[in-house]
Amino acid sequence: MKVAVYSFNNFEKRYLEEANKSKHVLQLIPVNLRKDTLGMCAGAEGISLFVNDDASAPVLEALKAAGVKFIALRSAGYNHVDLAAAKKLGLKVAHVPEYSPYAVAEHTIALILALNRKLIRAHNRIMDLNFSLDGLTGFDLYGKTVGIIGMGKIGRVVARIMKGFGCKLLAFDIATDKQLSETLDLEFTDLDSLCRRSDIITLHTPLVESTRYLIRKERIEKMKDGVMLINTSRGGLVNTRDVIDALKKGKIGYLGLDVYEEEKGLFFEDHSEDILQDDTIARLLTFKNVLITSHQAFLTHEALQKISETTIHNLDCWQNGIKSEFELA
């Protein structure tokens, strides 16, 4: 099968080639799928998409007209795909439901530790031969209350790690788990209570209509002064402008982001020679208590291997006329 791989990144090449074993003809396209790049998949029966590709209804209709039948996502999230439109058009869509919850969970912890102990600022000082410790005071994680929003596989790994630091654990999810509560001494509670009581809040829930702007002004106002907020899930969970206002007032004392609601066209690309056009992220970059990474939480050897293997598995199934167990539509 000829497959157009949109949003291709060089770090994926080795893993895709090893998983593919030359079974499919992969056309590696280093740009996002959008209306003006549709022509690049000419002759392809399948396409593979990443998190910032545009798979809205108009784009899907054009793909269908171009002869595309299959869409293999290289991600767990699928909020960028209009599944209802895909189903109506008869397009098969499959995702990678699990790659490495440890990759994202461990990156979450890295953000927490780096923000708390001001590691980036400390490193920059040392590079300037400034060995002063003024302004680098952190806090003990031991005994602090950590609120975890979303208790899927990633949230559970985060909970286990933070339990190891001696933290008190609060959780919010649409479903509770009595066994998990007992094992980790974790308390499931409502979202507002979690916000009021937590010293650190970390997001691990998918982006759907009900979770968009889950963190916004009214909810931030319920949080402790100086709270640490971490988002390694989806940018749209957080109203960035409300977060900036809270940072300016000191309500949010630490912010760690691996995702951003307007990251499309920004993340995964080198803009070092460009003038930054996004005023919102430009403002975020002025805060010393903000740490941003470019959607790299998933970026481990193990995760890339699993993503590639599952992507090729989905393509294999379709080529052989078999329904993939990971199909969404």
Hey, how many other C-beta atoms are within 10 angstroms of the C-beta on 90?
Answer: 9
Q: Are residues 129 and 140 in the same domain?
A: yes
Q: Are residues 158 and 213 in the same domain?
A: yes
Q: What is the pTM of this model?
A: 0.92
Q: Are residues 194 and 258 in the same domain?
A: yes
327 in a domain, yes or no?
A: no
Q: Are residues 242 and 131 in the same domain?
A: yes
Number of structural domains in the chain: 2
295 catalytic? Reply is yes
Q: Are residues 173 and 150 in the same domain?
A: yes
Q: Rounded to whole angstroms, how far apart are CA atoms 51 and 76?
A: 9
Q: Are residues 19 and 145 in the same domain?
A: no
Range of the domain at 52: 2-99+301-319
176 in a domain, yes or no?
A: yes
Q: What are the start-end ranges of the E strands in the chain?
A: 2-5, 25-28, 46-49, 70-73, 92-94, 145-149, 168-172, 186-188, 200-203, 227-231, 252-257, 290-292
123 catalytic? Reply is no
329 in a domain, yes or no?
A: no
324 in a domain, yes or no?
A: no
Nearest 10 degrees: Cα torsion 61, 66, 69, 75: -70
Q: Are residues 65 and 184 in the same domain?
A: no
Q: Are residues 153 and 16 in the same domain?
A: no
Reduced 3-state DSSP string for 63-131: HHHCCCCEEEECCCCCCCECHHHHHHHCCEEECCCCCCHHHHHHHHHHHHHHHHCCHHHHHHHHHCCCC
The domain spanning residue 245 has which CATH number? 3.40.50.720
Name the active-site residue from 295, 309, 313, 325: 295
* Residue 151, token pair as written in the block: 């208790």
Name the active-site residue from 263, 273, 283, 309: 263
24 catalytic? Reply is no
Q: Rounded to whole angstroms, how far apart are CA atoms 103 and 64?
A: 35
Q: Are residues 157 and 280 in the same domain?
A: yes
* Residue 327, token pair as written in the block: 């199909």
Q: Are residues 43 and 169 in the same domain?
A: no
258 in a domain, yes or no?
A: yes
Q: Are residues 60 and 179 in the same domain?
A: no
Name the active-site residue from 95, 219, 234, 261: 234
Residue-level pLDDT, tens digit, the chain, 329 residues: 999 999 999 999 999 999 999 999 999 999 999 999 999 999 999 999 999 999 999 999 999 999 999 999 999 989 999 999 999 999 999 999 999 999 999 999 999 999 999 999 999 999 999 999 999 999 999 999 999 999 999 999 999 999 999 999 999 999 999 999 999 999 999 999 999 999 999 999 999 999 999 999 999 999 999 999 999 999 999 999 999 999 999 999 999 999 999 998 899 999 999 999 999 999 999 999 999 999 999 999 999 999 999 999 999 999 999 999 999 97
218 in a domain, yes or no?
A: yes
